[in-house]
Amino acid sequence: MQTRKKFMRTALALTTGTILFAPIHLSAMDASDAPESVTIDSMAKLYAPVEFDHLMHTEYASCEECHHHTTGVQVADPNCLRCHANTPEADEVSCVGCHAADRFDDKYLATLDDPTIYHIDKPGLKGAYHLNCIGCHVIIDGPTGCQDCHAMTEAGEKRFNTGKHAPAGGNTSGAHH
């Protein structure tokens, strides 16, 4: 129903110092404060970095659809307010600020076990991107294939036994017998 506005919450990654938004206390931000484009390359290995056209995506979605409450807008949900009325977490803009790039780090996994932590189901950075992008793209009919967004690298072709590394035989039967 909000097709026009829905958008990839994903991409403001700014991991590798492309752009660094320090957790600063701003009263509010809007699309003009954001960079026109962001290169998402922090995890690029099997796929080439993504050149994310931030400006274009702002036409499809409002900031908080991707950035939740983090663009300086006061949190509205009373349930969230119980903890985040005035906490630094709410000012975090960059994706990686909250969504761990190393989702499987021991320390991170240990937090799952901490009974005082509510957000035990927070996706890692890669999950956050893909869940956001693909989730919205499916709805608004955006591109959803892997290589629609990022081209496969040589390492990727090796991993997927495709392209240069495609199997020689090529008979289509991955099953038993």
Partner 1 sequence: MKKLNRRSFIKGGLATTAAAAVLKETKSEASGDFDNYPEGMGVIVDLTRCVGCRSCEAACNKEQGLPEPAVPFDDFSVFDIIHHGEKRRTDETAYTIVNRYDPPEIDHPLFRKIQCNHCNEPACLTSCFVNAYTKTPEGAVIYNASVCVGCRTCMIACPFYIPTFKYSSAFTPRIMKCIFCYDTRLKNGKPPACVEACPQEALTFGKRRDVLKIGKQRIRETPGKYVDHIYGEHEVGGTAWMYLSSVPFDKVGFDTHVPKEPIINSVKEFLAMVPMVLTIWPGLFVGFHLLATRKDKIQELEKEKELRKLKENDEKEEQV
The footprint of partner 1 (CB under 8 A) covers: 103-104, 106, 109, 112-113, 120-121, 123-124, 126-131, 134, 138, 144, 146, 152, 159-163, 166-167, 169-177
Burial class of 27 by CB neighbour count within 10 A (0 to 12, 13 to 18, 19+) = exposed
Q: Minimum distance between the CB of residue 2 and partner 1, rounded to whole angstroms?
A: 17
Q: Minimum distance between the CB of residue 123 and partner 1, rounded to whole angstroms?
A: 5
Contact 9, 68 (CB under 8 A): yes
Q: Toward partner 1, which CB reaches closer, 34 or 95?
A: 95
Q: Minimum distance between the CB of residue 59 and partner 1, rounded to whole angstroms?
A: 25
Q: Minimum distance between the CB of residue 130 and partner 1, rounded to whole angstroms?
A: 4
Q: Toward partner 1, which CB reaches closer, 34 or 133?
A: 133
3-state secondary structure of 23: coil
Q: Toward partner 1, which CB reaches closer, 104 or 116?
A: 104
Cα separation values, 44 from 64, 106, 119, Å: 26, 22, 27
Q: Toward partner 1, which CB reaches closer, 24 or 138?
A: 138
Question: What tokens were used for 39?
Answer: 């290169």
Q: Toward partner 1, which CB reaches closer, 21 or 52?
A: 52
Question: Who contacts 60 (Cβ-Cβ below 8 Å, separation ≥6)?
Answer: 4, 5, 6, 7, 8, 136, 140
Q: Minimum distance between the CB of residue 30 and partner 1, rounded to whole angstroms?
A: 30
Name the nearest CA neighbour of 119 among 91, 79, 172, 149: 79
